[in-house]
Amino acid sequence: MRVSDALDIDEAELEERFVRASGPGGQNVNKVSTAVELRFNLRANTSIPPYARERLKRLAGRRLTLDGVIVIQADRFRSQEQNRADARARLAELIAEALVRPKLRIKTKPSRGAREERIKAKTVRGQVKKMRSRKVDFD
């Protein structure tokens, strides 16, 4: 299965189980196992780089079992073939998202002008409030 230009997942690492789906399909739902449960053993995989593996664990969330297997349930469509394609596409999307390294945040300080402007605005606001609270006594 092709995830990106740099990464391919071996078909032998994917395990599919077909189960009965809920939802639309009429009597077909009761007779045919159209839903797909796609299992991908992340712990046994060696083609995914370590940085992406850690990110993938976080992105998978509750789809990741304690054994390190990512389970994707697909029952959106009525046909088994469409659900297979959907499950594989969702897994590929998840892995591709994990491969993208997040941009590192560079700490910056506010400029001197920005700090001065902030202090000035606070002073002006304080003066406005002070003017409201004064009670003038003309005696």
pLDDT given for residue 22 in this prediction: 75
pLDDT range class, residue 72, cuts 50, 70, 90:
very high
pLDDT given for residue 106 in this prediction: 94
More confident residue, 24 or 79: 79
Domains of the chain plus CATH, in order, are 11-99 (3.30.160.20)
Cβ contact 94:60 at 8 Å = yes
pLDDT given for residue 19 in this prediction: 84
More confident residue, 2 or 125: 125
Which SS3 state, helix, strand or coil, does residue 49 take? coil
Average pLDDT of span 52-71: 90
pLDDT in tens, 4-58: 777 877 778 888 888 887 766 667 777 778 889 999 988 888 888 888 888 998 9
User: Which among 32, 10, 8, 3 has a CA at the least distance from the CA of 19?
Assistant: 32
Instruction: Round to the nearest angstrom and report the end-to-end CA distance of the chain.
Output: 90
The residue assigned the tokens 């078909």 is 11
Distance from C-alpha of 117 to C-alpha of 124, rounded to nearest angstrom: 11
Cβ contact 63:98 at 8 Å = no
Angle between helices 50-60 and 80-99 (to 10 degrees): 120
What's the mean per-residue pLDDT of the chain?
86
pLDDT given for residue 125 in this prediction: 96
pTM above 0.85, yes or no: no
